[in-house]
Structures are given as C-alpha cells and as structure tokens.
Structure 1
Amino acid sequence: MLKITGHHHISMITKNAHENHQFYHHILGLRRVKKTVNQDDPSMYHLFYGDLTGSPGTGLTFFELAHAGRTHRGTDAITRIGLLIPSFDSLMYWENRLDEFQIEHSEITTYGDTDAIYFEDPDGLRLVLLNNQDKPIPQEWTKWQDSSVEMAHQILGMGPVELTVSSLENAVKTIVQLFGYKERSKTETEAVFQVEEDQLQGQIIIVEQEGPKEKPGRGSVHHLAIRVNDKEELEQWEQRIKDFGFPIIKKADRYYFSSIYMKETHGIIVELATDGPGFTVDTAVEDLGTHLDLPPFLEERRQEIEEKLTPIE
C-alpha cells in the first residue's frame, strides 16, 4: 500500500545567500549539508540545511534570487513552517538565543495545543519553534555535534507546515483522498492532518482564508516536498496522481533524490521525493556543505558556473 511517510524538504526564496547562511547556520544552528545550484537555472545558489546528513524531514532549502521583491502575503500559499525542538526548556533556551541575536519573536505562547515561539527569518519567512514533548521522530534524524546550538536544544527537524487556502474543502479532499493523510482535528476554517498518530513531524495544517492570492517574492515558499521510499513507489504515485485528475508538471532526477511535481487545486506546488540516495552520494559526511557540489550533468560547466556565483562565506 502506498504511504507518504512525512515531509522530505521545503524550498523557499532568499534574496541574499550570505545573510541566509548566517541566519540558518550560525543562529539557528542547522548544518548546511549541500551548497549547490538550482539545477534548472545554475546561475543561482541552492542551499540545503538540515541535521547531520540532511535526513528527509529536516531539509530547509533556499534558492537565491538577488532581485526578488517582497512577498505580498495572501491565500493559496504555504505560509508558515514549524521547527521541532526537544522540550519546554528548549523554548526558554531559544527565547534567550533569539534575544541574544536581536531577532524579533513572540513570547512563549501556543500554536494550536503546542508550546511555541513565533519569529521570521531575514526575508520575512514565517517560522515557529515547537516543543516536540518527546513525541516520536524519525529514527534517522541525527543531531550535529558541531552546531553552535547546544545539543540538548538543537532543532530536530520539520514540524507542521501551514497552508492557507481559499477553499478548505478542496484542499482536504486532495490531502485525504489522494495522499492518505489522517485527520487529527477540523473546524469550519482549519484542519490538521498527520501521517502518523501523535506525531508533530509530517503534519500539515490547512487554514481557510478569504482575500487575494499571495504574490511570491523573497521569504515565500516555492514548494513542499513529501517523502516516498524509492523510485518504484514514485512511479506508482505518478500514476495515482494522474488517475486522480492532476497532471504531473515535472519529473526530475535530482541526483540526491528523484522527484515528481504536481499542483494541487489552489496552485500550491507539491513535490514527491525519494528518501535516497541522499547527500552523501558524492560527499563524505564530514565534508557536507563545505564546497560547491554539482550533479554529474553540470560538472563539465563548473568553471562557468563558479564564475557567476558570489562567494557566500
């Protein structure tokens, strides 16, 4: 039986790769596991952050668009990303850490029924730190011992991802009937779905909102990728999506994983990505993210590509 096992990664737009690296690596303490380029437009960086090896479910990725304008917030978009931390003590640690780096944030409050701190990255991407409260997480998630954040309080991986849509009913149909998510709670204007009972990882929260659609810019989310086991399952998902009435807008071998892309009813891009082979396919664990990695089909253009990129460090 086909089953989505959680988030794989989520991809956003940043205006400045250097500032982005400073924030996610130095302040949030995530490991940059891959410094590469957008395979569809190698003139721009594509940065991947995550745990020790960038395990599926921990990946925050960013395309650098130096001329990106501001995002005009609205509906039919991915509007918030949850980041899981181990405990309530971790929330207090992060409250102090965000103060130390002069990052504006909320007081410790709640997100749904979970203790939380709200804040934004330098591009205006909305983030929320969430107390995971010892709920299960994927066994492959591994902390990074060289992080600037204390081991006991490191970000574990991605938690709930929030979608804001103009029609809750249409979004629910897709996530339940097509992808097989289970409903955790539902009101007239909001619904929470999960892949595994009593787990924050992999949750999707859908909020209905009237008004204009988002006009994306810096700090906007390009797409959410969800996990499938392997290429065989990916092919089965491709057929299932087509049978459900959605076209596949792109198929790609990204070297580090294989993917298919579709747009759900509101135009939000959803990628299905395989767990493997992973980021260590071309780099030793200890060297991840330290130099520009290119997939084999771009390697012969390395000099040309490097000359057009601005150094990040």
Structure 2
Amino acid sequence: MPTILGHHHISMITKNAKKNDEFYREILGLRRVKKSVNQDDPSMYHLFFGDLVGSPGTGLTFFEIPMVGRTHRGTNAITQIGLLVPSVESLQYWKNRFEELNVKHDEISRYAGREALAFEDPEGLRMILLSNNGEEIPEFWATWDLSSVPSEHQILGMGTIEIIVKNAGKLERTLTELFGFIVKERSKEQILLQSIEGQRFGEILVRELNGPGEKPGRGSIHHLALRAKDDEELAYWNKKVRERGFQTSGIVDRFYFKSLYFRESNGILFEIATDDPGFTVDSDVETLGEELALPPFLEDRREEIESSLEPLD
C-alpha cells in the first residue's frame, strides 16, 4: 500500500525575487537549484532552493508576485516552516549568524519537543530551525560544498510544518484516515502528526484557532507538497483523494515532477508530488540553478520571457 514518504517541498509568495534570492542563498546558504518561471504566468519568477540537487524534502520554492500586498495573519493557513539543522551547536551558530546579519530572530527555546530557534525572512515568513540531534534523515539529502554556511551547520531539509485551522479534527482525520499519518503527541493546544512514525521530515503540527482567515501576501505560504514515490503512487492518491470527497486538479506534469493539488475542508492547499525526474533532468549538478530553466512547452517563448524578467545575478 502506498505511503506518504514525508514532505516534498513547500511554496511561498515573494514580492521581490532578487531580494528573496539574496536572502536564501547568501544568508541561509541554500543552493538555488532552479531559476524558472511560474508555469501558469511565465512573466514571474519561480525560484527553487534546497540541498545539492534540491532533493525531495529540502525544497523551498517562491512565486514572485510584484504587486502583492502584505499578509494579514489569521487562521486556516500554513503558518511556519521547520528546518532541520544538525545539532544544538548549529542553533548557536545560526543565532550568532542572525545577529551579525541583522536577521529577526528569537532566543533558542523548545518547539515540538526539541531545541529550536525561530526567525523570519525580510518579508515576515516565519521559520524555525530545529536541532536534528543526529536522528535519521533521508539518505539522499546532500550538503552543498559551495554554501556560505559550513557543512556541519547547514540546513538539512524540512522538518515540522505548522498549520493553524478552525477545525483541527477535520484536518487530523484527513491526514490520518486518508494519508496514514500517525498522531505522535496530543494536547489541548496542538496535535503533532508524522507521515512516518518517529521521523521529523514528515511532521505536521496542527493548532486550532477561530477567527478571520489569513489573507495571503508577501511572506505567506501558498501550499505544502507531500512526497509520493512515483507516477503509479500519485495516480493512487488522486483516486483516494477524490473518493474522500475532495476535488483534485488531476495529475499535472511540472516537468521536474508530477503533481496533484487539492484543498482539505479548512481550505489548506496540499500538493502531492513525485520524486522523479528531479532538477537534473535539464541540467548537470555543477550548473544547477545558474541559467533560466523553462519546461519544454515554454521553450519557444524564451526570448519573450527572458526580456520580461529582471536579471537576478
């Protein structure tokens, strides 16, 4: 029976791709593994950051929307991204780095049962570094030797993703009954669920909050993508999601992976994405993310598309 293998990537909104690119490459030390465009509106950048090759579970992606306003925070939203780092010593390294580089951050504390350091990017996107304490991570996650961050402190990949909704029970049932997530911890305030028991790289923390829904803007999270092994399993999930009563996008070929999209009962947008073919399908590892990459169906518009984009480098 197919299982969700963890997180695949998470996608956000940025107002300025150039400033976004600078922060995630120069401050966080991630690799830009793909410089592409929004396939539904190629006048705007779509940037992908991650480990050496943008392995599933490491991907932070951003859609540039230059006219976007600010985020009005509220419920029914994905609200925080957990990022795993190797150790408690890594958290101290990052605290010092954030102080030197004027990145907004909190003190080292605890979150979801482990040592943590919360911070924000320049657009207010909320993230939290989590000490992995030597626990298991996917064997294919790979550090990037040219990162501005030493390998012993580099961001490994995605950890706990926080979602705040009006009806936590509905989201919990979708995750457990449809996708097989396991409830790891439960309290009055929150529910901690894992796609693979004991593994933080597929962990979701659900909190319940009544009130106005979030109005997305710059620094908001658009959707969370869950990991499916291959095309066959993606087709299985498409069928199961529809049988659950949700509408899906059907299977969409994004060139670097295939996906389906659906909204659960609170309105949270989920994607399910395949591992393959990955970001090296149109580039070698050494030059990943350097040139503008376009899927084949947009290639004949390259000159038009490039002329509408502000150069990043």
Q: Normalising TM by the smaller chain, what interval?
A: over 0.9
1:92 aligns with 2:72: no
1:10 aligns with 2:34: no
**Which residue of 2 is the match for residue 56 of structure 1?**
56
Counterpart secondary structure, 1:148: coil
How far 1:189 moved relative to its partner? Answer: 3.2
How far 1:264 moved relative to its partner? Answer: 0.6
Counterpart secondary structure, 1:75: coil
How far 1:280 moved relative to its partner? Answer: 0.2
Count of residues paired in the alignment: 313
Alignment of 1:16-95 (within 5 A): 16-95=16-95
**Which residue of 2 is the match for residue 279 of structure 1?**
279
| Gap regions ≥5 residues in structure 1 | none
Matching residue's letter, 2:39 = Q
**Which residue of 1 is the match for residue 201 of structure 2?**
201
1:241 aligns with 2:241: yes
1:285-312 alpha-carbon deviations (Å, 9 max, x no partner):
0000001000100000000000110111
Paired with 1:251 and 1:217, the residues of 2 have a C-alpha distance of: 27
How far 1:250 moved relative to its partner? Answer: 4.7
Counterpart secondary structure, 2:239: helix
Contact 2:13 2:64 in 1 (8 A): yes
**Which residue of 2 is the match for residue 225 of structure 1?**
225
Paired with 2:112 and 2:60, the residues of 1 have a C-alpha distance of: 23
**Which residue of 2 is the match for residue 140 of structure 1?**
140
| Range with bigger deviation, 138-147 or 247-256 | 247-256
Contact 1:249 1:263 in 2 (8 A): no
Runs (4 or more) in structure 1 with deviation over 4 Å come to none
How far 1:198 moved relative to its partner? Answer: 2.2
Alignment of 1:108-147 (within 5 A): 108-147=108-147
1:58-86 alpha-carbon deviations (Å, 9 max, x no partner):
00000001111000000000000001000
Contact 2:171 2:265 in 1 (8 A): yes
Counterpart secondary structure, 1:8: strand
How far 1:188 moved relative to its partner? Answer: 2.8
**Which residue of 1 is the match for residue 160 of structure 2?**
160
Paired with 1:148 and 1:139, the residues of 2 have a C-alpha distance of: 23
Matching residue's letter, 1:126 = R
**Which residue of 1 is the match for residue 103 of structure 2?**
103
| Range with bigger deviation, 169-178 or 180-189 | 180-189
Contact 1:74 1:213 in 2 (8 A): yes
Paired with 1:104 and 1:163, the residues of 2 have a C-alpha distance of: 21
Matching residue's letter, 1:38 = N
1:239-287 alpha-carbon deviations (Å, 9 max, x no partner):
1111111111353100000000000111111000000000000000000
Matching residue's letter, 2:150 = E
Contact 1:81 1:158 in 2 (8 A): yes
Paired with 1:101 and 1:250, the residues of 2 have a C-alpha distance of: 43
Contact 2:104 2:121 in 1 (8 A): no
Query: Normalised by the size of structure 1, how large is the TM-score?
Result: 0.99
1:183-239 alpha-carbon deviations (Å, 9 max, x no partner):
101123310001222221110110001111000000111110000011111111111
Contact 1:55 1:141 in 2 (8 A): yes
RMSD: 0.8
| Range with bigger deviation, 48-57 or 232-241 | 232-241
How far 1:2 moved relative to its partner? Answer: 1.4
1:187 aligns with 2:213: no
Paired with 2:172 and 2:230, the residues of 1 have a C-alpha distance of: 26
Matching residue's letter, 1:272 = I
Alignment of 1:166-185 (within 5 A): 166-185=166-185
Paired with 2:158 and 2:311, the residues of 1 have a C-alpha distance of: 28
Query: Normalised by the size of structure 2, how large is the TM-score?
Result: 0.99
Paired with 1:15 and 1:179, the residues of 2 have a C-alpha distance of: 33
Matching residue's letter, 1:205 = L
Counterpart secondary structure, 1:107: strand
Paired with 1:242 and 1:250, the residues of 2 have a C-alpha distance of: 10
Identical columns (%): 56
Matching residue's letter, 1:209 = L
Contact 1:31 1:144 in 2 (8 A): yes
